[in-house]
Structure 1
Amino acid sequence: MKTYLSIDIGGTEIKFAQFNQAGNVIDKGKVKTKHEKKNFLATIDQIIDNYSAEIKGIAFCTPGKVEKTRIRFGGALPFLDGVDFAQRYGNKLNIPVAVINDGKASILAESWLGSLKGEKNCAAITLGTAVGGGIIIDGHLLEGVHYQAGELSFMICNSSHLSKMAGSAAMTGSAVKFIQEVNHHLGYSDENDGQNAFDAIQEKNPEAVKIFHSFCLRIAILILNLQTVVDVTKIAIGGGISAQPILLPAINKAYDKLIYEINPVIGQTLTKPKIVAASFQNESNLYGALYNLLLQMNNENLNH
């Protein structure tokens, strides 16, 4: 049986899973991310060694911009700049290796087996520490001339706060910062406790509700800005926060208010995309990276 190893590299932890070709998980695990290049690569080496006798390909998902298989900048892990996993492992093991940016992986997962399945023009937004993004146009992943299409974190949302990304979507759309702001106003000791923040919102705490609606409006504005450029039929919202049942209705309500009440001209001109929850949450990158590998292998077979 053909199996594949998918590795999702994050700033906090590295997740990995062994899949069959249909996307069924055979085995999985995770380890803490080492923040020094030598030890980090040694961790990846060990994960791959554990599965090397059983796999026919390796799929990587990583922060940063990915130029074919080479990582640029590395996002939260800047020491990854210049690392090429295909060169490091493909030649050694004589198996295909694919590498994809984390935002693009999320939309591939949704397009393959999730809430965007069958959609030819769609997008995915992942709400986390920053904002991840991926776009599919005419059935194909939009990469861009410089492999940077969908880098929504760099969209400028407030020109009066440009220093250190303060006015960017990475900050204004950060789910982590939204959670921290709610808990700070509540005086709660663990500012990263998302459930506590949402409990306060559902209990109608006035300040928590105000912060929540402000956050949802910012996400609605981000969706609107995206829609003005790519004009898709459906947008999936992912990230751990998307599991909260009150989030999607609130974002949809904020979008409707934006285009029908605040600026009706927009509503008369632009068609609203369907805004839905992503099917995959914390494991979307593993599935998306695998699908990217399978697509790459299929393209290579067609070209031979």
Structure 2
Amino acid sequence: MKKNYLSIDIGGTNIKLAVIDHSGQIQSKKQVRTPHESAEFLAVLEEEIAAVQDTIRGIAFCCPGKVNTDTGVISFGGALPFLDGVSFVEEFQPKFQVPVSVINDGKAAALSELWLGNLKGIENGLALVLGTGIGGGLILEGKLYQGKHFQAGELSFMMKQSATPSFDDMYGKTGSAVGLVKMVNLELGTEDTKDGAAAFEAINQKDPSVYPIFEAFAREIAYMICNIQAILDLDKIVIGGGISAQPIVTNEIRKQYRAIRSELPFLEATLTEVEIDTCRFRNDANLLGALYQLLLNADEELAVNS
């Protein structure tokens, strides 16, 4: 029997699992709630892996936090602070006797786009993932660039000048998709301020009471893109995250980016406009990108041993 791979996307609310073949075709998927206590969390993962262990030849993880892809060690853990210092490689490779890899979730999204999505064939690009904060994965010279400390592309921490610097002055706050949905729903008087469907129904109708909020959000992202482009001179930027399923999101970001450039003729004349597109993969992006990291690790090991 030909064996596939198990890809596991760890989020603050849910853990997504998928059995995927070598070409990136998803064979099966499931989802379980994320335990927020370390022992229970590891027990759930072990149980899920054990259920398919006879059919897999590798395990690929992605998760929040800063991840050393060489050692598999996670730092901080984002919404799951108990992951700080944990290595899934050390935890699961000896138990299941298959290769294990780990990568940050935002960088996994970029890898999925590089492998099979809208960054395929792009030498220099960026996946910009809009969620609670702003995740990102940089593709430079055709490869994922993580930086010496595995923190390149942490766009949430880009700062704006302030007399008393705080997270409120970082793009992770002002460019938060979750924050956008909350602000729109508060203006609408929606009972559930997390109701993305209600927020985007009004946004898509260009409701005058909330559309300026959306325009301001898109302009924040557009300014970020202007700054990134001035430094990196990228070929293409793709917009990801749950809200990217709404075509109006990428369209408005692109509109605001071009408006900023047109308001600054010197900028427009000097810096080449970057292409802005939507990510091809949404809910499956992290699963596919995590697998691609595992495959890259295997290729590197073969190269070293050949």
TM-score normalised over the length of structure 2: 0.96
Alignment of 1:1-304 (within 5 A): 1-67=2-68, 68=70, 69-160=72-163, 162-163=165-166, 165-261=167-263, 263-304=264-305
1:104–1:134 CA contact under 8 A, matched in 2? yes
C-alpha separation in 2, matches of 1:25 and 1:236: 22
C-alpha separation in 2, matches of 1:303 and 1:26: 31
1:161–1:167 CA contact under 8 A, matched in 2? no
Q: 2:15 is paired with a residue of what secondary structure?
A: strand
C-alpha separation in 1, matches of 2:164 and 2:120: 38
Q: 1:96 to 1:228 in 2, by over 3 A?
A: same
C-alpha separation in 2, matches of 1:171 and 1:54: 42
Q: 1:147 to 1:96 in 2, by over 3 A?
A: same
Taking only the aligned residue pairs, the percentage that are identical comes to 49
Moved more, 188-197 or 13-22: 188-197
Q: How many residues align?
A: 302
Q: 1:162 is paired with a residue of what secondary structure?
A: coil
1:158–1:168 CA contact under 8 A, matched in 2? no
Moved more, 4-13 or 89-98: 89-98
C-alpha separation in 1, matches of 2:35 and 2:116: 31
Q: 1:237 is paired with a residue of what secondary structure?
A: strand
Moved more, 201-210 or 286-295: 201-210
Q: Which amino acid aligns with 1:33?
A: T
TM-score normalised over the length of structure 1: 0.97
Q: 2:282 is paired with a residue of what secondary structure?
A: coil
- The answer for unaligned runs of 5 or more in structure 2 is none
Q: CA RMSD in A?
A: 1.1
- The answer for unaligned runs of 5 or more in structure 1 is none
Give the C-alpha shift of residue 194 in structure 1: 1.3
C-alpha separation in 2, matches of 1:89 and 1:143: 24
Give the C-alpha shift of residue 100 in structure 1: 0.2
Q: 2:183 is paired with a residue of what secondary structure?
A: helix
Q: 1:117 is paired with a residue of what secondary structure?
A: coil
1:107–1:288 CA contact under 8 A, matched in 2? yes
